[in-house]
Structure formats: structure tokens, C-alpha cells
Amino acid sequence: MDLRQIDEYRWRIEPSGNMRVPGLVFASRPMMDQIRKDQALDQVANVAHLPGIVKASLAMPDIHWGYGFPIGGVAAFDWNRGVVSPGGVGYDINCGVRLARTNLEADHLVDRLRELVEALYRDIPCGVGKGGPLKLSVKEEKKVLRQGSRWAVENGFGTQDDLEHTEDGGCLAGADPGLLSQRALERGRNQLGTLGSGNHFLEVGRVEQIHDAEAAEAYGLFQGQLTLMLHSGSRGLGYQVCDDFLASMARNVKSMDIQLPDRQLACAYIQSDLGRRYLQAMACAANYAWANRQLLLHRCRQTFQKVLAMGPRDLGMDLVYDVCHNIAKKEDHLVEGREMTLCVHRKGATRAFGPGHRVLPDDYRPVGQPILIPGDMGTASYVLKGTARAMEETFGSSCHGAGRVLSRKAAKKKSRGRSIARELEDRGILVRWSGRFTMAEEMPEAYKDVTQVVDVIHGAGIALKVARLKPMLVVKG
């Protein structure tokens, strides 16, 4: 592989063989030494072979090996001539993060944290396959799949303000529940409003540092403020949608007369019947994920109000923003000075639209879109803002988190004989979890240093720091 360093934060993979475009990787030199240890760079190059790809196959500094596309990968395809690939979206469709602010000073609640973490762990269903108290009828489930967060708000689980501060208003158009398998529908029927397992979490934190006072004010953030961050996705329904369509696309690609370097890049032309059906089914899963996070926020609001004995106005738990990580979207972007309609795949990557973009809510349009970058449970999470440079260089995209450096198996081995929960509590972070191996698999050392990841994005100018959040309590599946 011909990999060349362009500047302090950018690396270019020169086209070779049947690559249609170069690769562009955002990383520092020390990070690149780590990235080279797995096959993620090969996957960046592999994605560049796909029909209709424009400009470059991109990778963010949280890049690591994934299915087909690397996690942390971004690629955009001509809407009329390009392809859509489930490997470029991922199994957990619209896995994403939402951040809520409060009116509360975090330091005033230190003595209530243990009570609060126990209540949240009790009230928020979490864990592998865990269902929730909300049992959907077939008819209602299909409404959720079409309407997303709007269904939740219309049924009393949120406010219009929540919709305005959710990416795409919490709903992708074109969703068709009739395309989902019975197995997908069955898996989704009782999991709405549940956190899930693995790297999904609920985190209560404190605004530790403000980097950009103007943007922080626009987002309603202040020093010392108590915040809530939620990370969850489309649960078993999204996984099943991906699994079902991967099987169809693996068969389809044999008739496409293209040579793929990896069968995990199975795809279909966007304008084909299969391509359109996948996007409509993917929209269902995306809408389910948005409704899921909306219900989780609603339940968190109720728990805070109950534990702290205060009303919603005093609590002020308002949504800052909700962003999705695993998605393929129809968007218009300038490519070499010409506006093109594209299908932008973001897998383990976050939308990062800059100031003035028409899709942003009025209160954020002057400063740019909020970008939410969770950390490793033990250090920090970040709020950033989108930039004009991101629009020019990465199709308005940024990283989505710290990114793993240890497999779950390696993390379990490294944690042997240790109490990760005790280590975190010694650092002032209370943790509750349900999975037998969750704490071992999700130990902080399993992830890259989130500050180093964010420093690359900030230094490259594709997203700029607004605030740093320090975790105080965490609930994991």
C-alpha cells in the first residue's frame, strides 16, 4: 500500500489496482502506528473499489477494523450511478448518541449520585436481548418504523423541541415496514425504550471545560453543569434488517459484473430494486432507533424528577442534540465545484454540518451542528461543532467516539484479576452494569485516548471543540 503523510493530521492512500479514488485517513503519527496493526487501512482501500464512489474513501481517527467498511469509515456515492452497501452502515443501524443538558450544578448532587445511579439502573432496561415495559402491537410497531421520534412525541414521550434538536427531526422519509422480515418485526416489538448491551450506555457527567464560549452558549452548556448522554441504537430489529439484506446482496453482487476485493462489501446499485428496498428498510430501523432514544430520554427525565423531587421546569433536562453513527443518507454536496446528490455512508462516523446549513435548527445554524463524541467511560466525552471545512472535505462528517484498540477477548484477558468498577469508583465514577463480561470488555484501556482522537479532528479543522464532559456515573448493559 502506498500510504503517504500529507500533513500533521492527514494520510493519503494512493490509488492502485482497481481503486477508483484515493483513500484519505485522519490520524496523528502515533495513531497511525496503532492503526497499522489491523486490517482497517486495507478496508479503506477496498471501499475505494466500489462503483460510483466520489472524491475519496475516508477514515476518521477512531478507525478500526469492521465488517466490510472500517468502523470510522465515510464514503459517498453518486445517487444515480453508485451503490449502497450494508457493510457501510453496520449491523446496529442508527446506533447514535443524544446529549441532554440540565439546569443543575453537578457539584450540588455529589451526595445523591449513588441513589441516582441505582434508580437509573432500575428504571432503564439494559442488557443483551432485554425487553422493556412497552409492548407494541403490530400496528403500532409499524407506526414507529414510519414515524420515528415523532411517534414517541405524539404519544407523550417528549416534546416538539426534542424533534427540532434531533438529526433529521428523528425520522427518515421513505420507510416501508412491509419490507421487513417477520423475524425483524418480532425482535423489535418489545425492545423499544431499552439501552442494549456492549458499548451502549447511559452517562451522567459534568461540563468540565468550555473551549468555545459562543457555541456553548448556543447549545445551552455552562461550566459545572450536569448533563446526560445516551448511546443506543435499533436493537435486534436493526441487526436483523442488516442480516437479511446482506444475504440478498451477497447473491445480487454476482450479477453486477464488478470485481470486489472483499465479499463483505456486498452491495446493490442505489437505483436498483434491491438498493431502493434496502434504503427503505434501513429507514425503518433508523426510525426505530430514534424512537428508542426518545423513550430512553423520557424515562431518564422521569427518574431524575422522582429521585431529586423536582418538576420538569426546575430540572430543565432539554435535548441538546441527537446524532446517528451508522447510516446511509441522501444528501447534496459540492464535489469539485459541482453540486451532486449523493448517498453518504457513515459507519462509526457522525454528521458534522457547518454553520449556515439549512437543515440545522435556527438556534444552532449560526455556529454549526453539535457533534457528540463519547469517550471510554473513564476519562471524558466531548461536544464539538461542525465546520465549513468538513463540508468541503469529508461530506460534513466527523469521528463518532474513541474507537477500540483491544478486541473484547483481549480486553477480558487484560482485565483478569482486576475490579474495573472499583478502579472507576476510586476515580469518582459510579458504574452499574448487567452483562457478565461487560466491565472487562468495556474497560477504558480497550479504547483509544478520546482526547487524542478529538485533537486530530480539531487540528484538521473538520470539527472544533466546544466542551469537555467528565463522567460521574455510568449505566451499561
For residue range 41-63, what is the model confidence (pLDDT) as tens digits? 999 999 999 999 999 999 999 99
In single-letter form, the type of residue at position 252 comes to N
**pLDDT at site 432:** 94
Q: What is the rounded distance in angstroms from the CA atom of residue 21 to the CA atom of residue 24?
A: 10
Q: What is the rounded distance in angstroms from the CA atom of residue 424 to the CA atom of residue 415?
A: 13
**Does the model's pTM come out above 0.95?**
yes
Q: Please write the tens of the pLDDT for every residue from 348-394.
A: 999 999 999 999 999 999 999 999 999 999 999 999 999 999 999 99
Is the pLDDT at 132 greater than 90, yes or no? no
In single-letter form, the type of residue at position 4 comes to R
Q: What is the rounded distance in angstroms from the CA atom of residue 78 to the CA atom of residue 58?
A: 15
Q: 431, 419 in Cβ contact below 8 A?
A: no
| Sign, CA torsion 309/312/314/317 | positive
Q: What is the rounded distance in angstroms from the CA atom of residue 306 to the CA atom of residue 52?
A: 53
**pLDDT at site 198:** 86
Q: Please write the tens of the pLDDT for every residue from 221-265.
A: 999 999 999 999 999 999 999 999 999 999 999 889 888 999 999
306-333 mean pLDDT:
97
Q: What is the rounded distance in angstroms from the CA atom of residue 58 to the CA atom of residue 44?
A: 7
167-190 mean pLDDT:
97
**pLDDT at site 113:** 96
Q: 242, 93 in Cβ contact below 8 A?
A: yes
pLDDT band at 28 (very low <50, low <70, confident <90, very high): very high
Is the pLDDT at 1 greater than 90, yes or no? no
115-139 mean pLDDT:
91
**pLDDT at site 280:** 98
Is the pLDDT at 127 greater than 90, yes or no? no
pLDDT band at 267 (very low <50, low <70, confident <90, very high): very high
**pLDDT at site 131:** 83
Is the pLDDT at 128 greater than 90, yes or no? no
Catalytic residue IDs = 400
Percent with pLDDT over 70 in the chain: 100
> Does residue 36 sit in helix, strand or coil?
coil
**pLDDT at site 142:** 97
9-34 mean pLDDT:
96
Domains in the chain, start-ordered, CATH in brackets?
A: 3-476 (3.90.1860.10)
Q: What is the rounded distance in angstroms from the CA atom of residue 385 to the CA atom of residue 326?
A: 19
